[in-house]
């Protein structure tokens, strides 16, 4: 089947899910509502706090009911696109791990955010989020699912009934995660809160039916069953658009003729400095050779623009 055939199939599913989405969903629970509503925690694609993006996939275990066209980890590298088909799908029960060349550090507020691809505010395919400093010991973020009943393949999830999952918000909006929420959690003793290098997404198995899966249904931190659209096929499971970093060892220091960027990255990584004037269109401004030390310095001259933004993106 060609890519265009898959695209048409996706649009057919898109239409069906819109018909199946009830109009009065989104205010039944205690958690933040969908993007654009008062109290929502959704992070927009152009959020000024973003300083870096995931740039390297290190491992993947594809889940069930996943076509080859969606096994594309490179689509989640670098800045998220907000395009609902420019994503990598995990498959039912799948998992994928990215290494952050700029380590995430725990500071006030959310430290990173995960972008999914939901085409509306209620067709929410979910994933657990886990982090690690050493790539071996992972700690899962606390999560809650108060959805009481199974959700059919084109059904809806009330975002106010779920918390702590990637996929809670529509495409172009991310779920933020605060490393401080992991302090005291089982396994947190293995985390260096000033050097979190790995982020793993684990697809939620949102139902149980032996006709479609032999996997057990996922459960939240309190042991409750987690429901999300089930069973989806072809691009089953959570769909990842990108992972944005808010807090890392990246500092901007003003000086004569521009600013000096300082950051900590993996020794041996080359670094691309990306430039933008609107936080949407980015261009490669400079590329440094592989560095032997973890500390990087770079002078960014400022022109006549009213404002200009830089991010650094180390690559191996």
Domains of the chain: which residue ranges? 3-245, 250-315
Average pLDDT on 297-314 reads 63
pLDDT of residue 14: 41
**Residue labelled with tokens 């989640």:** 76
Specify the pairing of strand 250-255 against strand 258-264.
antiparallel
Other Cβ atoms within 10 Å of 155 Cβ, number: 21
In tens, the pLDDT along 118-144 reads 999 999 999 999 999 999 999 999 999
The pTM assigned to this predicted structure is 0.79
What does the alpha-carbon distance between residue 70 and residue 54 come to, in Å, rounded to a whole number? Answer: 18
With a cut of 50, say whether residue 7 has pLDDT above it: no
Listed in order, strand segments (DSSP E) in the chain are: 43-44, 52-53, 56-61, 88-89, 95-104, 112-115, 127-132, 139-140, 144-145, 162-163, 173-177, 196-203, 239-240, 242-245, 250-255, 258-264, 270-276, 283-288, 295-301, 309-315
| Count of CB atoms situated within 10 Å of the CB of 122 | 23
CA-to-CA dists, residue 77 to 39, 56, 60, 188, 310, angstroms: 29, 7, 14, 27, 17
User: Which of 18-27, 61-70, 146-155, 301-310 shows the lowest per-residue confidence on average (mean pLDDT)?
Assistant: 18-27
Beta strand pairing status for 52-53 and 283-288? unpaired
Higher pLDDT, 206 or 2: 206
Give 3-245's CATH code, choosing from 3.20.20.10, 2.40.10.10, 1.10.287.70, 2.60.120.260: 2.60.120.260
Say whether pLDDT at 19 is over 90: no
Beta bridge partners of 273: 286, 312
Angle formed at CA 111 by CA 45 and CA 311, multiple of 5 degrees: 55
Whether 207 has a pLDDT exceeding 60, the answer reads yes
- Quickly state the pLDDT bin for 189 (edges 50, 70, 90): very high
User: Which of the four pLDDT bands, split at 50, 70 and 90, describes residue 248?
Assistant: confident
Mean pLDDT highest for which of 4-8, 209-213, 222-226? Answer: 222-226
- Sign of the dihedral through C-alpha 35, 232, 53, 95: positive
Question: What pLDDT score was predicted for residue 228?
Answer: 97
Whether pLDDT at 35 is above 50: yes
């Amino acid at each position: 089947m060609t890519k265009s055939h898959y695209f048409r199939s996706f649009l057919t599913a898109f239409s069906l899910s819109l018909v199946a989405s009830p109009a009065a969903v989104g205010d039944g629970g205690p958690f933040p509502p969908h993007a654009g509503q008062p109290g929502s925690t959704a992070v927009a694609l152009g959020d000024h706090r973003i300083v870096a993006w995931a740039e390297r996939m290190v491992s993947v275990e594809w889940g069930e009911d996943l076509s080859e066209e969606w096994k594309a980890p490179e689509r989640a590298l670098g800045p998220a696109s907000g395009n609902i088909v420019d994503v990598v799908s995990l498959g039912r029960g799948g998992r994928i791990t990215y290494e952050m060349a700029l380590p995430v550090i725990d500071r006030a507020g959310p430290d990173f955010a995960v972008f999914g691809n939901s085409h509306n505010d209620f067709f929410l395919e979910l994933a657990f989020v886990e982090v690690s400093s050493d790539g071996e010991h992972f700690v899962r973020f606390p999560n809650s699912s108060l959805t009481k009943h199974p959700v059919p393949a084109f059904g809806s999830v009330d975002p106010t009934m779920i918390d702590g999952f990637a996929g809670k918000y529509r495409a172009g909006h991310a779920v933020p995660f605060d490393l401080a929420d992991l302090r005291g959690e089982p396994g947190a003793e293995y985390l260096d809160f000033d050097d979190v290098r790995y982020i793993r997404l684990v697809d939620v198995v949102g139902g149980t039916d032996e006709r479609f899966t032999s996997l057990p249904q996922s459960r939240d931190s309190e042991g409750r069953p987690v429901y999300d659209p089930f069973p989806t096929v072809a691009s089953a499971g959570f769909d990842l658009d990108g992972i944005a970093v808010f807090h890392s060892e990246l500092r901007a220091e003003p000086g004569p003729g521009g600013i000096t960027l300082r950051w900590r990255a993996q020794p041996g990584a080359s670094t691309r400095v990306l430039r933008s004037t609107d936080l949407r269109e980015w261009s490669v401004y400079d590329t440094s050779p592989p560095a032997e030390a973890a500390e990087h310095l770079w002078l960014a001259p400022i022109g006549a623009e009213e404002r200009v933004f830089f991010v650094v993106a180390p690559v191996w």
